[in-house]
Amino acid sequence: MGKAYYYFATSLPYIQFDDKPPMTCEDYLGECQRLLPDVDYKFMRTLLSEKILDYVFLQKLLVENKGEVRIGNQVYDKGIRFNRSFRNEVAWFRAERAGKDPSFYIRGERDSNPKVLELIQQLDKISNPLDAERMIEKFRWEFVDELSVGHYFDIEFLTTYGFKLKILERLETFKSDKGREVFEEIKKIKIEV
């Protein structure tokens, strides 16, 4: 079992999907820096920052296993596989719709997930891009929730909390004036597949 961060984990505000974020990811990283050992703080900073800040640190974390690169944190590794699977299924769906060879557009192996396939089918029926983005974020939230099961005071719990904060921050941009402007511009674009 890894290190436990009882004080930090229990001091974090409870968050739910669609809540206003109780803090920014930057504020959260500030708390991580204050309360976590340097190696765990660097790990969190690397995962949650908009850019990878420490390539040397990340390289040390990477583990190669059967041709698949992993960090070694269960939550992060499963999240990477989930994101790749989701992006591959979207690419597959769009390529098939365009009459192109889907295998050309996917990265790595196709790892069909029935929940992802169902989500893509539902997204295809939604005409409002904002509603589609909210549905994707809700799906990601539920996935992260599943990852957090059994993790209460460890680095995996803190990782899922950080991922949830990122989702809440993204949802907040949908509500901002700038987000509204971007959305209105996107609505004007007609995409033909």
| pLDDT over 60 at 188, yes or no | yes
Query: What is the model's pLDDT at position 84?
Result: 81
CA torsion sign for 5, 9, 11, 12 is positive
- Domain range annotation of the chain: 6-188
Distance CA(28)–CA(144), nearest Å, equals 17
- In tens, the pLDDT along 65-105 reads 444 555 566 777 777 778 888 888 888 888 988 899 988 88
Residue 135: partners with Cβ closer than 8 Å, 6 or more residues away:
119, 122, 123, 126
CA-nearest of 5, 150, 14, 4 to 74 is: 150
Residue 158: partners with Cβ closer than 8 Å, 6 or more residues away:
5, 8, 9, 32, 36, 40, 44
- In tens, the pLDDT along 12-35 reads 999 999 899 999 999 999 999 999
pTM for this model (two decimals) = 0.78
| pLDDT over 50 at 190, yes or no | yes
- CA–CA distance from 118 to each of 121, 122, 185 (Å)? 5, 6, 28
What tokens appear for 172 in the block?
Answer: 């907040």
On whether the CB atoms of residues 28 and 165 are closer than 8 A, the answer is yes
What tokens appear for 85 in the block?
Answer: 């699977």
| pLDDT over 70 at 53, yes or no | no
What tokens appear for 112 in the block?
Answer: 């069909």
Query: What is the model's pLDDT at position 105?
Result: 85
Query: What is the model's pLDDT at position 64?
Result: 47
